[in-house]
């Protein structure tokens, strides 16, 4: 059975191999027992396709009722729930959001317990995140034209504005991944281009620094 989960995610190969996937052909395959059943699941990741087959442990024969979408008998549903729980664990342990902006917005929500706000109806793709105590912006996600960053390139790009110490901003600006802040105070704010080659771990560290800087500020 095919699942569309990879439409929004990429596979972290290193994490998938550590989880138990093995390389087979052009993809990755995991064989794992479904608890409290006589079956095991075969999960295959190939490109943007994720498929799951359920087989009997004793015979290695495929359990065909699993693949019949309108089969809602109690036992089949219980097996399907076990398989879907496995997929949820795989999503958490082995996959990363292919959209860097969404991945970092999730980080803001999970790490700081903050929620996105879209304050501008004319640009619903732009979101702010505010600190818990002071209720001040520490992150601003936007989609802007490349030319707004001084780049001679058509189209738009996702960016993130964060607050950092001026000395750190000067150190980071390279006009490849980090830019003087778009539409904000360039001394105190930095714009990060959110593309697939972004250093996610570094940006998460900078988000945490921005949060602490804003939350602990003594300014009224």
pLDDT, mean of residues 142-153: 94
What percentage of the chain has pLDDT greater than the value 90?
79
Task: Report DSSP state, residue 84.
Answer: H
The half-sphere exposure of 61 on its side-chain side, counting CA atoms within 13 A, is 5
The dihedral region occupied by 56, where left means phi > 0, alpha psi between -120 and 50, and beta the remainder, is beta
Handedness of CA 112, 8, 172, 201 (dihedral sign): positive
Residue whose structure tokens are 């398989």: 83
d(CA 25, CA 46): 9
pLDDT for res 220: 46
pTM here is 0.63
d(CA 210, CA 111): 13
Encoded tokens for 36: 């409290």
Are the beta carbons of 1 and 52 closer than 8 angstroms?
Answer: yes
d(CA 81, CA 87): 10
Handedness of CA 204, 209, 213, 216 (dihedral sign): positive
pLDDT, mean of residues 124-137: 96
- Of 161, 152, 155, 156, which is closest to residue 143 (Cα–Cα)? 156
Q: What is the pLDDT of residues 151-210, one digit of tens each?
A: 999 999 999 999 999 999 999 999 999 999 999 999 999 999 998 888 989 999 999 999
pLDDT for res 141: 97
CB burial string 16-42: b at 16+ within 10 A, e below? beebebeeeeeebbbebebeebebbbe
Model confidence at 87, pLDDT cuts 50, 70, 90, reads very high
Q: 207: part of which helix (H) or strand (E)?
A: helix 200-215
Model confidence at 57, pLDDT cuts 50, 70, 90, reads very high
Model confidence at 219, pLDDT cuts 50, 70, 90, reads low
Backbone angles phi, psi at 97, to 5 degrees: -65, 130
d(CA 149, CA 160): 12
Rounded alpha-carbon distances, angstroms, from residue 121 to 20, 56, 59: 45, 53, 58
């Amino acid at each position: 059975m095919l699942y569309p989960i990879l439409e929004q995610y990429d596979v972290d190969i290193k994490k998938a191999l550590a989880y138990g996937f093995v390389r087979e052909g052009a993809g990755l395959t995991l064989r794992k027992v479904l608890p409290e059943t006589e079956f095991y699941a075969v999960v295959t990741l190939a490109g943007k396709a994720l498929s799951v087959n359920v087989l009997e442990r004793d015979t290695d024969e495929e359990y065909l009722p699993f693949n019949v979408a309108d089969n809602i008998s109690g036992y089949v549903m219980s097996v399907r729930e076990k398989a879907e729980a496995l997929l949820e664990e795989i999503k958490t342990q082995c996959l990363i959001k292919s959209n860097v902006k969404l991945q970092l917005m999730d980080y803001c929500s999970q790490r700081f317990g903050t929620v996105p706000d879209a304050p501008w109806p004319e640009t619903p793709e732009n979101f702010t995140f505010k600190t818990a105590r002071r209720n001040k912006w520490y992150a601003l996600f936007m989609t802007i034209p490349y030319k707004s960053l001084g780049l001679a390139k058509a189209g738009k790009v996702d960016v993130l504005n964060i607050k950092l110490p001026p000395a750190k901003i000067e150190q980071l600006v390279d006009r490849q991944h980090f830019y003087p802040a778009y539409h904000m105070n360039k001394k105190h704010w930095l714009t990060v281009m959110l593309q697939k080659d972004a250093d996610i771990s570094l940006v998460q560290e900078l988000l945490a620094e921005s949060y602490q800087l804003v939350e602990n500020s003594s300014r009224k």
